[in-house]
Amino acid sequence: MNIAFIAPLQRAWARMQRMLFRPFRLETWAVMGFAAFLSDYLSGGATGSYGGSSHWRPRHRMIPHEAMQRVWDFIRDPAMLGLVIGIGVVALAVAVVLQWVSCRGRFVFLDNVVQERAAITAPWARFKRQGDSLFVWTLLFWLVIGCAVLVIALPFLASMRSLFNEEEFHWAGLLSMAGFMFMAIPVVLAAAYTALFLNNFVVPIMYQHGLTATAAWGRFLTLLRAHPVSFIAYGVLRIALYLAIGFSVMVVGFSTCCIGFVLVATPYVGQVFLLPVMATLRGFGPEFLAQFGPEFDVFAAPSVVPAAPQAGTP
């Protein structure tokens, strides 16, 4: 079987042009931008989360030892400790709720791209079961990854502690962390590829066949075992695309007194501005998957999931 990489990307590009420019309609952009916002930004997806402050710089130099001491002094106060725990719990709850919204949003955005139409409420109601299943799977996945990183970090805790307790920075201390890095990289790589496969291939399989996340993974893993190199190469191509997009955003941002950065970093507005890119990337995974047979062609047989009943109808 000959697997193409550029042809699916070209088809995704052509699909995006039909959706967004033939004809151009502001309401399509507004609605699909919101679907993209629900899908990618809230989960901190690769093309979504530009909101983090990368321009932060410490106002004055503070050595780790001093910083750790200040943190320790701060949380020794029971009131402050309670406040920190409270803020942490609220932040965690908000993150979980946003993840739930994002999991449902992924089906909304995918439905928009597959059907070449802008809609929120109908796909939101229709893919409730799949969205909830994806949410539970994603939570468990990140929990497992967090535990794996923790287990790897345990033997290096002493080195980390000495690194922070030293009053001066030593390169030797940092080198002692190389072992941790060496062991963590495969885990991070595996996590990144799992997240990539989940969003690009497992979600379309769930969407097409109305499956849960676990059942869809079962179907995808059969395919992955048969064509591992093709899917790994897809991941590499995707990284290259992200780099190219990042470079383009940098060029536009620096050429416009950072106005471009502000627009892209603004929630929802950024998704509307980057909608051609996001719609192309959203369509690329399913277009690539469609080469492996009609049972993986989401465009030929869009979805078996029945439409949700309209409000007021039995």
Partner 1 sequence: MTGHAQAARGGLVLPARPAWVVWWLCGLAAAGAWLALRAWTPAGDPVCALRRIAHIGCATCGLTRALAALARGDLGAAFALHPMALVLAAELAAAWGASGLALARNARLADQRWIPWAIAANGAAFLLVWIVRLLTGTIPV
What string of DSSP letters covers 261-293? Answer: HHHHHSTTHHHHHTHHHHHHHHHHHHHHHGGG-
> Are 99 and 199 within 8 A, CB to CB?
no
Binding of partner 1 at residue 18 (CB under 8 A)? no
Q: Of 171, 257, 309, 312, which lies in the binding site for partner 1, with binding defined by CB under 8 A?
A: 257
C-beta of 248 vs 256, nearer to partner 1: 256
Residue 27 interacts with partner 1 (CB under 8 A): yes or no: yes
Minimal distance, residue 272 CB to partner 1, in Å: 12
DSSP state of 37: I
- Which CB sits closer to partner 1, 8 or 253? 253
Stretch near partner 1 under the rule CB under 8 A, chosen from 67-75, 165-173, 238-246, 249-257: 249-257
Considering beta carbons, is residue 24 or 72 the nearer one to partner 1? 24
Q: What 8-state DSSP symbol labels residue 301?
A: S
Half-sphere exposure of 308 (CA within 13 A, CB side): 14
Both structure tokens of 87? 């803020």
26 binds partner 1 (CB under 8 A): yes
Which residue, 79 or 257, is less far from partner 1 as judged by CB? 257
Of the two residues 21 and 182, which places its CB atom closer to partner 1 in the complex?
21
Q: Based on the shown chain and the rule CB under 8 A, indicate whether residue 25 belongs to the binding site for partner 1.
A: yes
What is the per-residue binding string for partner 1 in 197-236, x denoting contact by CB under 8 A?
A: ----------------------------------------
In 10 A of CB 257, how many CB atoms? 9
Chain centre distance of CA 222: 24
Radius of gyration of the chain (CA): 22
Structure tokens at 227: 């064509």
Please provide the distance, in angstroms rounded to a whole number, between the alpha carbons at the two ends of the chain: 48
Residues that bind partner 1 (CB under 8 A): 21, 23-27, 253-259
